[in-house]
Amino acid sequence: MYLRNWQQKIIDDFPSIISKYRRFILKAPTGAGKTILASEIVEQFYKGKKIVVLCHRLVLLEQLEKALGEKHNVRKLSVSDTGAAFQNYDILLSTHMRAKDVLVDAVPKADLIIVDEAHRVSPNGRGYKRIIDDFNQFGKEDARFMGLTASPERRTGDQRDQLNLAFDAIIDCANIENLIEEGILVRPIYRPHFVHDLDLSSLDISSGDFPVAKLSPAIVKSSMIDHALVCYAEEREKVLPRPISAWFCPDISVAEATLKRIRLLDIEATIVTAKTPINERMKLLELHESGKIEAMVSVGVLAEGWDNPQCNIIVHLRPTLSKVLWGQSVGRGLRSAPGKEKCIIIDVSSNWSTFGPVEKLQWSLWSHRRSYIQFMNRFNWIGQQQDGEDKGDIYLLCENQTKNKMRCSHMYKKIENTDDTCPICGSYAAINIYKKQKLDSSLNELELHRLFFGRVQ
């Protein structure tokens, strides 16, 4: 099998990795080829041995079954399966909640346990906790517990639910910037806009993220969807060979409002959700990949386990305190394809200014209890780029009123030795965010409203 440079390096290093760690995560970006790597690891180091492969969604199970079944004797566990594990097969595929008795029997026999989308491993959850405990107590001494993910971090501050309770190390296999240089991924081009009339400061975030029940009505009431449509109408003319887009929404109410506005532009669009029957979902995704459906509006399904290399525009309508969600969803647009030169990221949810470009994200197996609080500052990343008024990168916010009577609100980096012209609307009407309000832990969107938009409305 032909392996990419980073895959071959991990294969070469694998004996050393398993000599140091019993439980570890292989981290590589979406689209890098983690499934191919896992298949090659099985082929070279575990052929004929007992292997358990776990994931949390049926669609992922089907993808893994197809990839591993070409060379290995694979059995996809069904809910009703009983009896002993590994009877006439070597690789057991399952979600962590299927046929528990068979999994209980399989874990102590396994030579390797692979967990796809390993950031989903919940050490305190009913399914994975039992598997982790069984592996720690009853697993073979030379068995290994290996995770695969692009974003090895939990979306929670719960100290009982951190990845360091399941894994001992992150093996950084490849990064987005190197894969762009090799032509494996395409470069993301960000178009971030600050939506001034979306106030999230009063929402209860004790769960670790904005509550969807309160977030969605605020989005529909605000100008966020209008901003997204204005941006999309302009950017869809700039991609080749044709625009194919994925829109990320927090719930069905935002998705339906978005779909209605998209269709007003005479664009073929539809919605896919976790409740969409699997066969119908697959047909819609095939139409999307072919370009017959240009815009796929998603609620909770496209951020993981979805591969459409033709997708060249991502539209983010989901403000979040989770850099995992931000990184996973943007990563879906970076796969390369013939004629595809870039992926445009339209962010009207302030996630870019909060977390930064996905190619710069840093990950950790552990987060402190209230680590998500820093992301209530929706200019968290921008603030980190500037050290004092005259040092570091300077970011500007355009206050120009456009022809449609909306504020441009584009956030962009000031280029040294050039004027401050907004690259979107061409206006000079921009403010230096840092100078208006030093970006520290007390800054939130409401304060910027008072400083900026309050005086121009």
CB 432, CB 442: distance < 8 Å: no
Tell me what the mean pLDDT of segment 107-131 comes to. 91
**304: pLDDT strictly greater than 50:** yes
Give Cα 305 distance to the centre of its chain: 10
Residue corresponding to tokens 């921008």: 382
User: What is the CATH classification number for the domain harbouring 149?
Assistant: 3.40.50.300
Task: Categorize the per-residue pLDDT at 306 as very low, low, confident or very high, splitting at 50, 70 and 90.
Answer: confident
**69: pLDDT strictly greater than 70:** yes
Task: Report which of 230, 15, 272 is spatially closest to residue 144, judged by C-alpha positions.
Answer: 15
**420: pLDDT strictly greater than 70:** yes
**441: pLDDT strictly greater than 50:** no
Nearest-angstrom CA–CA distance, 69 and 91: 9
Give Cα 127 distance to the centre of its chain: 23
Proportion of the chain above pLDDT 90, given as a percent: 64
- 164 plus 217 within the same structural domain: no
**391: pLDDT strictly greater than 90:** no
Task: Categorize the per-residue pLDDT at 447 as very low, low, confident or very high, splitting at 50, 70 and 90.
Answer: low
- 165 plus 192 within the same structural domain: no
Proportion of the chain above pLDDT 70, given as a percent: 92
Integer CA distances (angstroms), 133 to 124, 137, 405, in order:
10, 6, 59
Tokens of 74: 């694979």
DSSP category for residue 29 = -
- 294 plus 365 within the same structural domain: yes
What was the pLDDT predicted at 80? Answer: 79
Query: Which residues fall within 8 angstroms of residue 249, CB to CB, at 6 or more apart?
Result: 255, 258, 297, 298, 299, 317, 318
Nearest-angstrom CA–CA distance, 314 and 334: 10
- 153 plus 296 within the same structural domain: no
In terms of residue numbers, what domain contains 279? Answer: 181-454
- 130 plus 213 within the same structural domain: no
**367: pLDDT strictly greater than 90:** no
Integer CA distances (angstroms), 182 to 31, 331, 372, in order:
13, 16, 34
**118: pLDDT strictly greater than 80:** yes
- 165 plus 222 within the same structural domain: no
What was the pLDDT predicted at 58? Answer: 66
- 68 plus 186 within the same structural domain: no
CA diameter of the chain: 73
The structure's pTM equals 0.89
Of the three residues 144, 159, 174, the one that is the final residue of a domain is 174
- 132 plus 269 within the same structural domain: no
- 139 plus 257 within the same structural domain: no
What was the pLDDT predicted at 60? Answer: 66
Of the three residues 107, 141, 174, the one that is the final residue of a domain is 174
**439: pLDDT strictly greater than 70:** no
**Least confident span in 35-39, 245-249, 291-295, 315-319:** 35-39
What was the pLDDT predicted at 40? Answer: 93
Tell me what the mean pLDDT of segment 313-329 comes to. 95
pLDDT tens profile 220-269: 999 999 999 999 999 999 998 999 999 999 999 999 999 999 999 999 99
Q: What is the mean pLDDT of the chain?
A: 89
What was the pLDDT predicted at 329? Answer: 95
Q: Per the structure, how many domains does the chain have?
A: 2
- 74 plus 200 within the same structural domain: no
- 247 plus 384 within the same structural domain: yes
**452: pLDDT strictly greater than 60:** no
**35: pLDDT strictly greater than 70:** yes
pLDDT tens profile 93-113: 888 777 788 999 999 999 999
- 286 plus 411 within the same structural domain: yes
Q: What is the DSSP string of 366-406?
A: ---TTGGGGGGSTTHHHHHTBSSTTSB--EEEE--B-TTSS
Pick the most confident of 48-62, 79-93, 130-144: 130-144
Q: Is the peptide bond before 241 cis (omega within 30 degrees of 0)?
A: yes
For residue 162, how many other CB atoms are within 10 A of its CB? Answer: 22
What was the pLDDT predicted at 125? Answer: 82
Nearest-angstrom CA–CA distance, 167 and 118: 10
**Least confident span in 117-121, 168-172, 199-203, 316-320:** 199-203
CB 223, CB 230: distance < 8 Å: no
Tell me what the mean pLDDT of segment 276-291 comes to. 93
Tell me what the mean pLDDT of segment 118-144 comes to. 92
Radius of gyration of the chain (CA): 23
**Ramachandran bin of 70, using left for φ above 0, alpha for ψ from -120 to 50, beta for the remaining angles:** alpha
Tell me what the mean pLDDT of segment 145-173 comes to. 91
**Amino acid identity at 300:** G
123/257: higher pLDDT: 257
Of the three residues 174, 192, 220, the one that is the final residue of a domain is 174
